[in-house]
Structure 1
């Protein structure tokens, strides 16, 4: 009887050939490291580098163009400052530098997060150059928000700190103005600067209309209401957290009170160097009154404030020529002289990826 054929499962597996190692490529021979193939640069990298270069050069071009467009004003201000007392101007320059320190304290006090103090101070110095491009301090706020975002601060918190900074600055300036009005008899002359009712009525109507339109938009447009309410909640939460820390409170409100006093002290020094024979209380009061009256006018570089300041000094009894020279000298010392260094600092911060 024939034997049964073996099952296929019982068959031994066929012998497999040993794997053949692949031949070594060029650059992978023994004793040699493989050569890295250079990766092509993506177009997004080149575009980002070009945008960074444009941002670095834009402040310099802006400073040069502004100086060329305002040659007579720059020449007159520089000529007046050259003939002025250099020691008083040096003191005014010191108060100007202290004003940047005070602004840095207010910025840090308005933020619960801790940021590098040196970099924050450099960003505030660079923000002065940005204010010549955007009105109403928007340039400085934009630079600050960009700096905070680069430090990892969320956008809601960075924006809320800008609101708290502006609120503290305005409130402290108002308090200082009220105190000076209470202790100085020169407040009676400010009545000549108050506009009559024919101008106040249209201004009040425009302000009321803007508030009414904003209220209707926030009530009706739901996509607009949601981010605004979220921003307000974040701002209130950050304000409560900031005011639970004594160091933040001291930095916020101490710096906010020091800023208008330092700016007024700079104007006092410039006036003294040019022969403006007025008490320092009246000069500081004139500065605060003019800034409060037209500080909300969206004019880049503060030109509306300069006109109101010159008019206020004249109303306080200063000679028109000396008052105008004082305002021009103040603007040269606080804005025009730091413009090019501020633009260079702005470019350096961008190259260092701090902004």
Structure 2
């Protein structure tokens, strides 16, 4: 076996493992959809007669998420990026994200876009890491604020006899992974921290990074809030936002393309646990996914093809 084949083999095994996990999650989602098909069908009918005004608000919020994503990426980069192509790249990246698991589609499109703008591969990857870090911290802060505003919603299960042992095993695995991966990640983390310090030395870039990250997260929650209003779900907007952030964070642990299956199930479960009837929760999830995934998918792929043809990607 050649050196090149030796280097490619681990990557190929990881890809096969991730693909197998994706298929397993999609199969489970299909089984659940088949089992609860009457609820989904009734939910779709309820969405068809929903309030059009609130659906328009949701659609507007969904479209604005691409602008916020572009703003956050510009904030993570010191050099100015072409605004129109930047927004178009975010629209195309959202479509590509539905085809590859774990955000690989978005990352690949943005990495290629930054490299076409004259940045090196290493600097482009670091900029994406800065953007992802800001997005994760923003989401965590929003969860903390909303959890304080809605006490008792995110309840931890009571400790049973096996919970301490399970927690200890989880902590041991975390420590082991940190010890193994830290030498490899230390240099990358140093580069990310250096870029973060450089960005915060320029207030307008820092404002774009954090403002775009905050707007992106809030607008996605607003899409779900507006859809729940459209189908007349009796849930307070702060509660819906908290349930959305909790469900989407949990769904991120299962790397399916665009969160297909994992996010749908997590959102439906969260809304039902929050007090929504099953049919209403199904309507809200269908409406959210329709506006954020299915309707923009074909136009996004067309924009992606145009950007590739014009060598903007």
> Under a length normalisation based on structure 1, what TM-score does the superposition of the two structures give?
0.71
Equivalent residue number for residue 145 of structure 1:
111
Cα distance in 1 between the residues matched to 2:181 and 2:264: 35
Task: Give matches, 1:16-165, under 5 Å.
Answer: 79-165=45-131
> Residues 170 and 208 of structure 1: is their aligned pair in 2 closer, same or farther, counting only changes over 3 Å?
farther
Equivalent residue number for residue 212 of structure 1:
176
CA contact (8 A) 1:124 1:144 kept: yes
CA contact (8 A) 2:94 2:300 kept: yes
Equivalent residue number for residue 282 of structure 2:
324
2:270 matches 1:306: no
Which 10-residue stretch deviates more, 298-307 or 92-101?
298-307
1:125-167 CA deviation, whole Å, 9 max, x = no partner?
A: 0011111122221210111001011111111111111111111
2:135 matches 1:169: yes
> Residues 206 and 135 of structure 1: is their aligned pair in 2 closer, same or farther, counting only changes over 3 Å?
farther
CA contact (8 A) 2:244 2:267 kept: yes
CA contact (8 A) 2:44 2:283 kept: no
2:241 matches 1:284: yes
Equivalent residue number for residue 263 of structure 1:
220
**1 or 2, which has the higher helix percentage?**
2
Cα distance in 1 between the residues matched to 2:267 and 2:164: 20
Equivalent residue number for residue 188 of structure 1:
152
Equivalent residue number for residue 197 of structure 2:
240
Q: Tell which structure's C-alpha radius of gyration is larger.
A: 1
Structure with higher RCO (Cα < 8 A, 6+ apart): 2
1:230-271 CA deviation, whole Å, 9 max, x = no partner?
A: 433432322111110011110111111222211111101111
> Residues 327 and 233 of structure 1: is their aligned pair in 2 closer, same or farther, counting only changes over 3 Å?
same
1:306 CA drift (Å): 1.9
Structure 2 residues without counterparts, runs of 5 or longer: 1-25
- The DSSP-based 3-state class of the residue aligned with 2:119 is coil
- The DSSP-based 3-state class of the residue aligned with 1:338 is helix
Cα distance in 2 between the residues matched to 1:298 and 1:196: 29
Match of 2:297 among 314, 326, 339: 339
CA contact (8 A) 1:156 1:231 kept: no
1:172-193 CA deviation, whole Å, 9 max, x = no partner?
A: 1111111111122xx31332x7
Equivalent residue number for residue 297 of structure 1:
254
Equivalent residue number for residue 10 of structure 2:
none
> Under a length normalisation based on structure 2, what TM-score does the superposition of the two structures give?
0.79
> Residues 204 and 155 of structure 1: is their aligned pair in 2 closer, same or farther, counting only changes over 3 Å?
farther
